Structure 1
């Protein structure tokens, strides 16, 4: 397959120059150049010194050039560069016996990766701070096999000229620069391109613990590697086309996932869920752009543009972007979780509710009012969302300095929480003391000047077993402040399921309440999608006002650029630095 690509690329490269005056030949060659470049970029290596152009930019140029005429000649240089890039990509591959690129799967420096000229890097990817039984040290780069031959003796004995074969498992000894054995290890070589970074990768599985890890890593660095920077392995995977930018971000989300649902969402993104969706939307934008641009010079030949069809297409693309943006809230919940403060007067069952909810004895429970003096924290997962529950001291007029500090901390916890759960005694109903607490936290209602609570609020009527069928009668102002009233019994755990569902509904993720979890967009991706949506809104407005086609193309190009930032097709160095700086060392 690579051999055929090489021959096609050479034909496209050499045939373009003499055919620029022939629109028909130009259309065919431009289309072929785009296909060759697309295939070569994904299957063939890139040569040293060739900076990979943006695939969508090449395809856009080829599509525009395919319309022929002087507009085709205007784009001929870019199309010629596309074919030349495809040829350079295949030219850089090691040749097999038939003159085509090698298909042996052996990489190294000759494989022509974007990172071919970079240092070989190494890092402990697990087992540094914990006393685990096994730790893994990863080496990635062109010199990885050579470094492995310096620090690893297969079978515990030095073998002159030994080089690891790809995807084999070797047992042996790790030695330092003086030849002293410092550990026993298992070596797993994954040579280019069949590795995480698409470079030559060597992984050493050594005994866990800080001492063994550092000794082996030191030996690897002395043999020629340098310590990897945070996220550098995944950055190289992105630069070498192994992952797009949205998949690279999903790797980090998977590593830092706090719940199984968050891990499932990250895996869905790693499989390409976000990237595929955005790529499909971007292709729709580019198709619309090509149709509009073709009419700028060739409307007489192509006929009038169907403005309604373009508007309908743009409207459909906007809806697709809106559907993707709706996942942003779910993603934030899965990644960051929620902080829930439990407030109320003393002895209404706040600590009992915390213990029943978390199935622990985290808080001390007695019949004495004011037992809880400080904020008690407990973790819980609800519908895949990590919750941090804050059991606060009962709010009342303090009897001593210690209780006064506890009440002050309770009010601060309520002010900073995402959701505030106010607990009342269902048997006693709404009391004057409850009203004082409400006025102290919410003032004259949410959004008023005296309101300290910024998050949403729920009212829990606890001790429902003692209240029978009686409902808690609430003042109108209180009813409007709370989104729902949930009856619970901490002793029997009755109503806790309804409380969890109400919290998820209140957090804006009803599908999480029903167990629906899929890929989600993060903050950076959502910001780019919003810009793309705004650009398409301007396109729709421009069409409705009957403005010239040139103005349509401005915002269509803006939408395409914004969408390209999600997958990394159109992204600057500062964005890459920001994304990968959040990664841990070793990933």
Structure 2
């Protein structure tokens, strides 16, 4: 597939030791030959692929030296985009990288759009669409575990699983189409029972990936964990203790936190999105009232709730009011201030929460924090995440396509069970194939492809 030549700065804008200007396309070697003066005289267009060359970037019109650089030459097809690629490794900084890019564009390159290098890799067949999306996940990964799954996706894990399911569906289609096209020929017919078993197997394969997608979402986006409780029980202190820094303002004055504070922590590789909320209580103070309403909204959307109670006080009416609005979600009851004399009636508390998890902590003395982190991990993943890591899909777009594919395959199962004609069964099979193809890109629309790559940064 032929494209024009594109260029962009591929490193973060700002002061840095190194900056990279990337060029990709048929004219990449011609462009670099005009502006690069090697230390040792050579025809840069004829050097071996995947080699590094020292020299200077020079303005061909004025002969002004822009920078001392290393130039990487990578010739098609064994490159990221399957086109000729040149990378100019210059000194970092907004001024010099911008000037070199400007010089490259003057020689005929076009400024790359967001994600266009990776888009070309996809359009030129080097990677499928799920692998392209993995590039974003690697860049935005908040923990090494999230990076690990994104790397697996980039290596083609998702595409290979989808291909296995598509091959099974194609096997059914081939036999069914043969029966439709050659009804009088001696064509071996699949027994209805065998067809039904295969269709059910495909439904199970799809369902495994759908079920695991929730774990995948948490690993990719973070577990939304709301810290709630009445004012002055130590919610902000708990946030600071878990973060190991003073992120939230802490005072003895009730109602200090008026707005939502969000920060991430890493618990055994799982990104936890901690959300410190305003203390929930009845109040006539306008700003605090707005904060309380926002706290209730966060409570409704959270994956996990840390309900903080003051162990040095008895349960109050405000505590009971929060109990009344709790939803049936994962909840850990955090008894804070255990460094002080304990006054809370634990028998009353246990009668309210039944089999709920209670963790005692002191944010001042940093007691119980590791136990709390372990409880978060165990509660969400039941301690068996490693047993299911081979099945994790970490992209919500994939999940939607899988749900649709499962729907069509379940319809196919019913059609086989009801003894419907072969041509009706093929309709569902083709629809399922179309949905699975959206994941890897074979049947993705141009609008969808553009939407995905628009989320990339320029230069990737």
TM-score, normalization by structure 1: 0.71
1:516-535 paired onto structure 2 within 5 Å: 517=389, 519-535=392-408
1:460 aligned onto 2:334: yes
Specify the alignment match of 1:388 in structure 2: 273
Specify the alignment match of 2:204 in structure 1: 319
Distance 2:84 2:184 in 1: 53
> Does the CA contact (< 8 Å) of 2:58 and 2:66 recur in 1?
yes
- Cα distance 1:187–1:161, how it changes in 2: closer, same or farther (>3 A)? closer
CA deviations on 1:281-332 (whole Å, 9 max, x unpaired) are 1001101111222233257623543111111111111111111112321232
1:506-525 paired onto structure 2 within 5 Å: 509-510=381-382, 517=389, 519-525=392-398
- Cα distance 1:464–1:514, how it changes in 2: closer, same or farther (>3 A)? farther
Distance 2:295 2:318 in 1: 19
- Cα distance 1:256–1:362, how it changes in 2: closer, same or farther (>3 A)? closer
- Cα distance 1:384–1:230, how it changes in 2: closer, same or farther (>3 A)? same
CA deviations on 1:73-115 (whole Å, 9 max, x unpaired) are xxxxxxxxxxxxxxxxxxxxxxxxxxxxxxxxxxxxxxxxx1x
Distance 2:250 2:234 in 1: 8
Specify the alignment match of 2:309 in structure 1: 424
Specify the alignment match of 1:571 in structure 2: 444
1:471 aligned onto 2:350: no
Specify the alignment match of 2:134 in structure 1: 250
The answer to which structure, 1 or 2, has the higher relative contact order (CA under 8 A, 6+ apart) is 2
> Does the CA contact (< 8 Å) of 2:141 and 2:147 recur in 1?
yes
Counterpart of 1:406 (choices 281, 288, 291) is 288
- Cα distance 1:577–1:369, how it changes in 2: closer, same or farther (>3 A)? closer
State the Cα distance separating 1:483 from its structure 2 match: 6.0
SS of structure 2 residue aligned to 1:430: coil
State the Cα distance separating 1:409 from its structure 2 match: 1.1
Distance 1:515 1:295 in 2: 42
1:487 aligned onto 2:360: yes
Distance 2:358 2:317 in 1: 18
Counterpart of 2:31 (choices 135, 141, 147) is 147
Distance 1:516 1:539 in 2: 28
- Cα distance 1:132–1:410, how it changes in 2: closer, same or farther (>3 A)? farther
Counterpart of 1:135 (choices 19, 23, 30) is 19
Counterpart of 2:219 (choices 334, 343, 359) is 334
Distance 1:356 1:321 in 2: 41
1:44-55 paired onto structure 2 within 5 Å: none
Specify the alignment match of 1:224 in structure 2: 108
1:287 aligned onto 2:162: no
- Cα distance 1:512–1:245, how it changes in 2: closer, same or farther (>3 A)? farther
Specify the alignment match of 1:554 in structure 2: 427
Specify the alignment match of 2:297 in structure 1: 415
> Does the CA contact (< 8 Å) of 1:414 and 1:420 recur in 2?
no
1:211 aligned onto 2:95: yes
Distance 1:271 1:429 in 2: 55
State the Cα distance separating 1:528 from its structure 2 match: 1.4
State the Cα distance separating 1:498 from its structure 2 match: 4.5
TM-score, normalization by structure 2: 0.89
> Does the CA contact (< 8 Å) of 1:137 and 1:203 recur in 2?
yes
SS of structure 2 residue aligned to 1:243: coil
Distance 1:528 1:511 in 2: 29
> Does the CA contact (< 8 Å) of 2:232 and 2:255 recur in 1?
yes
> Does the CA contact (< 8 Å) of 1:426 and 1:464 recur in 2?
yes
Distance 1:456 1:411 in 2: 21
Distance 1:375 1:238 in 2: 40
Distance 2:24 2:275 in 1: 45
1:433 aligned onto 2:318: yes
Counterpart of 2:412 (choices 535, 539, 542) is 539
> Does the CA contact (< 8 Å) of 2:260 and 2:294 recur in 1?
no
SS of structure 2 residue aligned to 1:169: strand
> Does the CA contact (< 8 Å) of 2:219 and 2:394 recur in 1?
no
State the Cα distance separating 1:559 from its structure 2 match: 1.4
Distance 1:577 1:299 in 2: 47
Counterpart of 1:124 (choices 9, 19, 24) is 9
Distance 1:162 1:226 in 2: 20
State the Cα distance separating 1:520 from its structure 2 match: 2.0
CA deviations on 1:147-179 (whole Å, 9 max, x unpaired) are 01011011177x678644311111011012412
SS of structure 2 residue aligned to 1:499: helix
Specify the alignment match of 1:306 in structure 2: 191
SS of structure 1 residue aligned to 2:7: strand
Specify the alignment match of 2:83 in structure 1: 199
Distance 1:555 1:541 in 2: 10
Distance 1:271 1:310 in 2: 32
Specify the alignment match of 1:30 in structure 2: none
- Cα distance 1:539–1:471, how it changes in 2: closer, same or farther (>3 A)? same
Specify the alignment match of 1:53 in structure 2: none
Gaps of 5+ in 1: 1-113, 448-454
> Does the CA contact (< 8 Å) of 2:315 and 2:345 recur in 1?
no
Specify the alignment match of 1:499 in structure 2: 372
Distance 2:18 2:322 in 1: 54
Distance 2:44 2:224 in 1: 59
Distance 2:388 2:421 in 1: 45
State the Cα distance separating 1:211 from its structure 2 match: 0.2
Distance 2:45 2:169 in 1: 53
- Cα distance 1:398–1:545, how it changes in 2: closer, same or farther (>3 A)? closer
> Does the CA contact (< 8 Å) of 2:314 and 2:343 recur in 1?
no
